[in-house]
Amino acid sequence: MENVFKIDAVYFLVFIVSCITFESIATYLPDIKSLITPRGQYLIGRVTLRNITQSSTKAVMVFNNLLCIDYTLYKCCVRYTDSGGVGQDATSNNISLTKISVQVPPSLPDRITSIKSTPVTAEGDNVTYVCTGDVRTPPANFIFQKFGHENISLVNYTATKTSTQEFPINCSFYRTSSITFMVTADDNQAVMRCAPVSTLAAENIYVESEPLEVIYSVKMPTIVRHPNKTYYLVGLDARIDLTCTTDGNREPSYLRHKDNQLEAISTRKL
């Protein structure tokens, strides 16, 4: 500012998203007082305004209790009288804008649900998992982790589809993310986990799905001998155990062949 005769007032302005404009929230009158404007009533009890004078015109607003509503842009405006007695306004430009950033850790996801292409999931079918929850500010992403039935991590997935709804008053971003993949036999009884990815997130913030049942074909059976030897001696090797095993869902039944005879056995391995 040049040719300033006196400072008439200093204003702090805040960006109002709903109006897409800046409005005054605090006014500083030199040698008189500082006050909160009608638009800035939400600041009462949470900020401290320091009075200014003609010789000390540094306007200061101290936030004592920062809330999510304070997460926005701010700028300063000075109204003054020049040496010719004409009133002037000087406002900080876009380069001088100040932004208050508020960080809030993500919450525990609300739920994870599965959407299946058929009532009974078989090997080769597609399954979609959908995770929803408040990922807060800055908005975190969801990661999907698939665990086997022994809780061994199998695959990490990045969401293929995601949408976010913002609630700026309480620093909330409500995110819905999903993944779709083709299941295999190895996915039987697998559990899908959904967790927010953020440096602010606490440990073990995740939700898990119910175990996934996958119907798959019976695999080629194997036979194991015990004792496992190349030759057996008559009279010495009195007992030889043959164990037949396979895998499938639904659980298979077993048939034993001996001397061209068929014998049905229970569903348990022999």
The answer to whether residues 233 and 200 belong to one domain is no
- Would you state the pLDDT for residue 192? 95
| 142 touches 131 (CB < 8 A) | yes
CA–CA dist 68, 42 (Å, integer):
12
Is 215 part of a structural domain of the chain?
no
Who wins on pLDDT, 117 or 177?
Answer: 177
Instruction: Choose the final residue of a domain: 99, 130, 145.
Output: 99
* CATH code where residue 32 lies: 2.60.40.10
Is pTM beyond 0.75? Reply is no
Tokens at residue 153, please? 């991590």
Closest CA to 268 of 244, 236, 250: 244
Is 217 part of a structural domain of the chain?
no
Tokens at residue 194, please? 């959904």
Closest CA to 190 of 103, 123, 105, 90: 123
Closest CA to 142 of 106, 188, 88, 181: 106
Cis peptide before 227 (omega within 30 of 0): yes
Is 106 part of a structural domain of the chain?
no
Is 91 part of a structural domain of the chain?
yes
Instruction: Choose the final residue of a domain: 43, 66, 99.
Output: 99
Q: Over the stretch 41-60, which tens digit does the pLDDT of each residue have?
A: 999 999 999 999 988 888 99
Which residue's structure tokens are 């609300």?
A: 110
Confidence of residue 267 (pLDDT cuts 50, 70, 90): very low
Phi, psi (degrees; rounded to nearest 5) at 69? -65, -20
Is 141 part of a structural domain of the chain?
yes
Is 214 part of a structural domain of the chain?
no
Sequence letter at residue 127: V
Q: For the chain, what is the domain count?
A: 3
Q: Three-class SS string for 239-261? A: CCEEEEECCCECCCCEEEEECCE
The answer to whether residues 123 and 202 belong to one domain is yes
DSSP 137: B
Determine the structural domain holding residue 59 and report its residue range. 4-99
Closest CA to 159 of 140, 173, 138, 172: 140
Who wins on pLDDT, 23 or 68?
Answer: 23
Tokens at residue 211, please? 């175990």
